[in-house]
Amino acid sequence: MLTVDRERIEGAEGPMGVTPSLDFDSVRLVEVSRHFGRRRAVSRVSIEARRGDLLGLLGPNGAGKSTLIGVLATLVQPTSGEVRYGGHFARELGPPLRRQIGLLAHELHLYTELSARQNLTFFSKMYGLDPRSTVEPALERAGLADRADDDVAGFSRGMRQRLALERALLHTPRLVLFDEPFTGLDDNAVGLVSARLRRLAADGAIVVLATHDLDLAEGLVTRVAVVQS
Amino acid sequence: MRKLFAPLLVLTAVMFAYAPVVIANTRYESTMFLVQKIFYFHFASWMAWAAAIGVCGIASAVYLFRADPRGDRLAVAGAELAILFGAFGLVTGSLWGRKAWGVWWQWDARLTMALMAELIFVGYLLVRKYGGPGAEKLAAGMGIFGAATTPFIYKSVDWWRTIHPQTSVVRNLGETAPDMYGAMLFCTVAFLLLFASLLTVRVHLESRRAELDRLYLALEDQP
Amino acid sequence: MSFATTAFLVLKKDFTIEVKSGEILYTTLFFAVSCVLIFAIAFVREGQPVEGAGAGILWIAVLFAGNLALGRTFERERYGETVRALLLTPAPRAAIYVGKLLGIVALLVAAECLLVPMVAFLFDAPLFARPLLLAAILGLGTVGFASVGTLFAAMLVRSRTRDVMLPILLYPITVPVIIAGVLGTSALLQSPADEPVALLWIWLLVSFDVVFVTLALWTFEPLMTE
């Protein structure tokens, strides 16, 4: 299903005059550090993930997993070290790179005052996509088709999480970043999200999953990087 | 820079030592008498203040766009010196005002504005201290905007009816009283040199601090 | 994504939320009105307003309310970290700033539409004698204040002490706006209105706006990168 989405979206890019597309097969952090004076958030981390990988970023809370996810998402600037997307450096890219990144963080990146449909429509337009062809399928996948016009404020944690996941994947990014996506989910929802992650990786995305939950990660990830505090 | 620092310091000291002589040799001003002599240091400290603000603004922009930590060190040194020379200017200005206008604090536009500019750089230090992790960047924004707003603050003086001596006084001084003009220039150079020395010391201290942090982290990394 | 489309989308999104909840508009208006009434206590003697108090009261109410509105608007973007979601989209980041700025300006203009008649009525101030000049001073002053305010509120989103930091940073930097606004409005309140002086302050506001909007557009991207 995802491959189909990608084709359709790339077809839609041309006439709308979206930023030129950019693609990459791997993401590499080389000796990345992030310090605040003597306090270190991340110290000399090197990892690499390729297409089809489901890389688990494991470690206790406060070990700097979120900072690493932020660095990969280009939201956080490392103090030293470099980040490569295929053959490119993060700082030479900008919009075309952000077009290929999807982030689902612990905070859900949703406007609770808006309905599920309004949230998806807004972000779909911000990504230069056509909401008529992206919003309905996303609502279907989230299992929220019948609640589409309800405010997110009234949703349960599980519903919000599913919506947030679809919001983060609206533009079928090449690099998918998850920061503790299982918090507050019941077993059923965990299963759904896990299945979605596997499918993303199988369809050629680079998936990075940061979590402190070793049990959940165990059966899911294909490669592991352990971050120590 | 280290090689130049000792001569710089010596030159600054010599100029400050000689400054009283230069000032004493100027004529007495007809209405202000002795108090007028404050003017030489007053004007000079505002020149150093302006230089400090310029350094802070430009260094902040360098830090923001190049992510060069040296820019940040220079900016914080500039901000602190802007506060120092600004305070000096305010005190000397207040002393002047006591004699000229009969009150310590007159709501004269330029004094008020100088106080406002002073607040900007105190704000800069506050955001550094209490802004949490990554506050250097927030402070850099403050530095750029603070430096940019200062000319506006300065300009609004000329438009607000003011009792402060107009800026043209300085320009006319060259023709009417060359000895006063010379003393003023002498003191300005002395203050700018003092500014340069203090800036160097402050930046050096900040680099040492960064080096210490780096060593501390390296030590932690030892197995 | 073009610049204008992005700015418009962000503005429209904020507008949709505000139409639904009305929270920021109503609290801002209520706060601005309270400000005016509190100043009335200080500046009304024996039933008569102190002469020339109107301009100052009007501007203080606008700027205080502006600070509140800025804080609330970005609190909304902080909750759920939607500000990060906005920054992650491929849209030009400066356009996001413009969208937020237009929202703040619209909100403050709405507040001014209520405050101007109110101050004119309560303080017997001839605010409508030169409507175009007054609109120019208020509009330009609002843009100047909001341009710095939007940038600072946006970058303070990630600071723990944002509530107290915003006014500390914002008011000293926007002092030229405050002075030009208050003195320009006072010039209009004189009888007869002192138009050349008002125009002088309008000129200062125009140059302030140009410099600070440019600076904000230029620094928004690096300032928002953590």
Burial class (CB in 10 A: 0-12, 13-18, 19+), A229: exposed
pLDDT tens for each residue of B1-35 = 567 788 888 888 887 777 777 777 776 666 666 66
Region C23-29 average pLDDT: 89
CA angle C182, C184, C189 (to 5 degrees): 90
Interchain contact C225–A (C-beta under 8 A)? yes
Burial class (CB in 10 A: 0-12, 13-18, 19+), A84: middle
Distance CA(C210)–CA(C104), nearest Å, equals 17
Closest chain B C-alpha to C25 CA, distance in angstroms = 28
Count CA atoms closer than 13 A to A226's CA, side-chain side.
Answer: 3
> Residue A89: helix, strand or coil by DSSP?
strand
Per-domain residue ranges of chain C: 3-224
SS3 of chain B: CHHHHHHHHHHHHHHHHHHHHHHHCCCCECCCEHHHHHHHHHHHHHHHHHHHHHHHHHHHHHHHHHCCHHHHHHHHHHHHHHHHHHHHHHHHHHHHHHHHCCCCCCCCHHHHHHHHHHHHHHHHHHHHHHCCCCHHHHHHHHHHHHHHHHHHHHHHHHHCCCCCCCCHHHHHHHHHCHHHHHHHHHHHHHHHHHHHHHHHHHHHHHHHHHHHHHHHHHHHHCC
Nearest beta carbon to residue A99 from set C82, C90, C226: C90
The single-letter DSSP state of residue A151 is: B
Distance CA(B125)–CA(B83), nearest Å, equals 10
Record: contact C13-A114, CB cut-off 8 A: yes
Query: Residue A10: what pLDDT?
Result: 38
C171, B146 Cβ separation under 8 angstroms: no
pLDDT tens for each residue of C154-170 = 988 888 888 888 998 89
Per-domain residue ranges of chain A: 2-24+49-77+94-226
Query: Residue B164: what pLDDT?
Result: 52
Each residue's pLDDT, cut to its tens digit, for chain A (229 residues) gives 233 333 333 333 333 444 456 778 888 888 888 887 777 777 788 888 888 888 888 887 777 888 888 888 888 888 888 888 887 887 667 788 888 888 988 888 889 888 999 999 999 988 888 888 888 888 888 888 888 888 888 888 888 888 888 898 888 888 889 888 777 777 877 888 888 888 888 888 888 888 887 777 777 878 887 877 6
pLDDT tens for each residue of A16-35 = 444 456 778 888 888 888 88
Average pLDDT, chain B: 81
Q: Is the pLDDT of residue B144 over 90?
A: yes
Query: Residue B116: what pLDDT?
Result: 82
Closest chain B C-alpha to C169 CA, distance in angstroms = 6
Which residues of C fall within a CB distance of 8 Å from A96? 90
Query: Residue A12: what pLDDT?
Result: 37
pLDDT tens for each residue of B106-142 = 766 677 778 888 888 999 999 888 877 778 888 999 9
Distance CA(B98)–CA(A168), nearest Å, equals 66
Nearest beta carbon to residue C89 from set A17, A98, A112: A98
A61, A227 Cβ separation under 8 angstroms: no
Region B46-74 average pLDDT: 91
Q: Which fold has domain A2-24+49-77+94-226?
A: Rossmann fold (3.40.50)
Q: Please give the structure tokens belonging to residue C208.
A: 């302030």
